[in-house]
A and B are shown apart, each in its own frame.
Chain A
Amino acid sequence: SQQGEEDPQALSIQEGENATMNCSYKTSINNLQWYRQNSGRGLVHLILIRSNEREKHSGRLRVTLDTSKKSSSLLITASRAADTASYFCLTGYSGNTGKLIFGQGTTLQVKP
């Protein structure tokens, strides 16, 4: 199966701390997206960053993209218990294949 790479696989932090998760990919991309999935619930889009962008913010979320290292990071600042979820990156590969590939995910637990 095709799965992108994310690390760490699991992360446990205290409320108020920051959480960082990383996503690596293989070839040129059109864009990269981050999604959240709460236990037993559907996937929700968080943020999209295009290949010509280096950083984007949305509320407490900050996403960076380093195309030279073929990697992206999602930073959640001042985490809350409600941020407990699995986080997935979705890479949109450019070129003729136009593949869309999700990472294996990072499971984040935020302890109150």
Chain B
Amino acid sequence: EAGVVQSPRYKIIEKKQPVAFWCNPISGHNTLYWYLQNLGQGPELLIRYENEEAVDDSQLPKDRFSAERLKGVDSTLKIQPAELGDSAVYLCASSLGPWNEQFFGPGTRLTVL
């Protein structure tokens, strides 16, 4: 069974440019998460979806970040415009439900120059 797929794996952009990350969760997983992880720290939840509904986006900087999960399957996270401080690893995870074991993708390492 395929795991959580993320693309791209690496992205280097200049500040003020837009960037988008894509995630395809494990088939049948209703819950999808986007996390941000800075070096040496634990992941921080940006947004959690239950099917196509964003049920927790309290930590998403909505002035520049947006996300969507059309049809309740794959998801896209966008940053526009990117800032230097957005350099981090962006992780996608999925689970059967919000209190279940989460399966993580390999992440996208974003570098903003």
Residues of A within 8 A of B (CB): 1-4, 30-31, 33, 35, 41-45, 48, 88, 90, 92, 97-105
The contact of B98 among A44, A92, A103, by CB within 8 Å, is A92
* Chain A residue nearest to B48 in the complex (CB): A100
Q: Does more than half of chain B's interface fall in helix, strand or loop, or is it mixed?
A: loop
Q: Does more than half of chain A's interface fall in helix, strand or loop, or is it mixed?
A: strand
Q: Which of B13-21, B37-45, B62-70, B71-79 makes up part of the contact surface?
A: B37-45
Known A-B contacts A2-B59, A98-B55, A100-B48; A43 and B101 likewise in contact (beta carbons under 8 Å): no
The contact of A44 among B43, B91, B104, by CB within 8 Å, is B104
B12-40 toward A: CB 8 Å interface, digit per residue (1/0)? 00000000000000000000010100001
A35 to B104: give the CA distance in the assembly, Å: 10
The reply to whether B45 and A103 form a contact with Cβ atoms under 8 Å apart is: no
Q: Residues of B contacting A3 with CB < 8 Å?
A: 41-42, 44
The contact of A43 among B91, B98, B100, by CB within 8 Å, is B91
The contact of B99 among A44, A92, A102, by CB within 8 Å, is A92
Known A-B contacts A2-B44, A104-B42; A43 and B56 likewise in contact (beta carbons under 8 Å): no
Q: Residues of A contacting B35 with CB < 8 Å?
A: 102
Q: Residues of B contacting A43 with CB < 8 Å?
A: 43, 91, 93, 102, 104
Closest 3 CB pairs of A and B: A102-B42, A43-B104, A45-B101
